[in-house]
Amino acid sequence: MLEGYCKGCMPDNPKEECGVFGIYAEGADVARYTYFGIFGLQHRGQESAGIAVSDGARIRSFKEMGLVTQVFDESILQDLKGHIAIGHTRYSTTGSSVLCNAQPVICESKFGTIALTHNGNLINTAEIRAELESGGETFVTTTDSEVMARLIAKSSAATIEDAVREMMQKVT
């Protein structure tokens, strides 16, 4: 009797949403570490992969549709020099599965260029996006991650840390 009791209640296989990896390591090949980090998280997103690396002055990034091993090769990793990196594998939950929605999201701000990756869904994305668009903000993706980045970029906070805190208080 109990055998069929919960039939259909549970998914038949695990469902994951995106893989996010970050590293800060001066003197290390952070792009390669990030490559292996997101390779290990490949099961969490198989639509696209991306890495952004900073040397403290400039952010270099690369992202493409496909699996980590299809997106990155040695020459790409060699071009991503710096001491801090973030990486992302995407399983789309907000926004369609197209290159412009691949992460990391790169955005200009008064704090300089910022790169952001995110896993999950914001409940109030449409509301915040509409508010930002009515203020003249233009978007290049349909993701909630870009909404987060644009909130940071448009913040009146004095520091990026305060801008991130402010953004976190606005999103749900």
**pLDDT at position 60, please?**
98
How many structural domains are present in the chain? Answer: 1
Question: What's the pTM value of the predicted model, to 2 decimals?
Answer: 0.87
Burial class (CB in 10 A: 0-12, 13-18, 19+), 39: middle
4 in a domain, yes or no? no
Owner of token pair 């994951």: 16
Per-residue pLDDT of 59-92, as tens digits, reads 999 999 999 999 999 999 999 999 999 999 998 7
Catalytic residues: 18
Question: What pLDDT does 8 receive?
Answer: 47
Q: What is the pLDDT of residues 145-169, one digit of tens each?
A: 999 999 999 999 999 999 999 999 9
Containing domain of residue 148, as a range?
Answer: 16-170
What CATH number did the domain enclosing 37 receive? 3.60.20.10
pLDDT range class, residue 16, cuts 50, 70, 90:
low
Is 1 among the domain residues?
no
Determine how many CB atoms are found less than 10 A away from the CB of residue 166.
Answer: 15
What stretch of H or E contains 32? helix 30-40
Closest CA to 67 of 86, 92, 39: 39
Q: Which of the four pLDDT bands, split at 50, 70 and 90, describes residue 94?
A: low
